[in-house]
Amino acid sequence: MKQTLLLGALTTILFISCNTEKDPFVIGEGSIGNLDKTIQMKQVDSIFAEDSIVKLNPIKNALGTQGEVEIYDKEGNKLLLLSPEDENDPNATVTNVQVFDTRYKTEKGLTSGSTFKDVKANYTISNIESTINSVVVFLKDSEIYLTIEKSELPENLRYNPNAKIEASQIPDGAKFKYFMIGWEPNKTAEKE
């Protein structure tokens, strides 16, 4: 009887530990799925081995993945755009990630398909910068930044590049043009 209980407990523990695999679509601090900010471009092939990798600027005689790459899943859905600090260095780490697929989400549920209402409900905005055609929204204590086209804004803000735009002026239903993650370059990994 004791052996049966011991065997049952051991089986349960093994079953639980096998199911703690990392969610491939969660966006966390310093990571997105199985990719983190220490990963070098030459390692991208192994992380996305089940997906398709499209090299945007193929480098002649490159030994591994270098430069910007797009990641597609088996069904052909565009997942991510990965950009390194130095396109010519396979040891460069990924410094910018553009998220396309809405399955990627933060712990607070923010995805590329979210609206500005979701941002206001779950995050503190640290800064809003205005460009000619868009506004870039930076989130406090986060590596995520979002771009919203000015066409989503009230008309009095669309055509004035010098207008100081406040979060309260951005409509709740404003959609993101770009959902981005920015990481500082990992200098120690690049020196290896």
Is the distance from CB of 24 to CB of 51 less than 8 angstroms?
no
Can you give the residue ranges of every domain in the chain? 26-185
pTM for the model stands at: 0.81
Per-residue pLDDT of the chain (192 residues; tens, 9 = 90+): 555 544 454 444 444 444 456 789 999 999 999 999 999 988 999 999 999 999 887 666 655 566 899 999 999 999 999 999 988 888 899 999 999 999 999 999 999 999 999 999 999 999 999 988 999 999 999 999 999 999 999 988 888 777 899 999 999 999 999 999 999 886 554 444
Pick the CATH number of 26-185 from 2.60.460.10, 1.10.10.10, 3.50.50.60, 2.40.10.10: 2.60.460.10
Exposed e or buried b for every residue in 89-102, given b needs 16+ CB within 10 A? bbbbbbbbbbbbbe
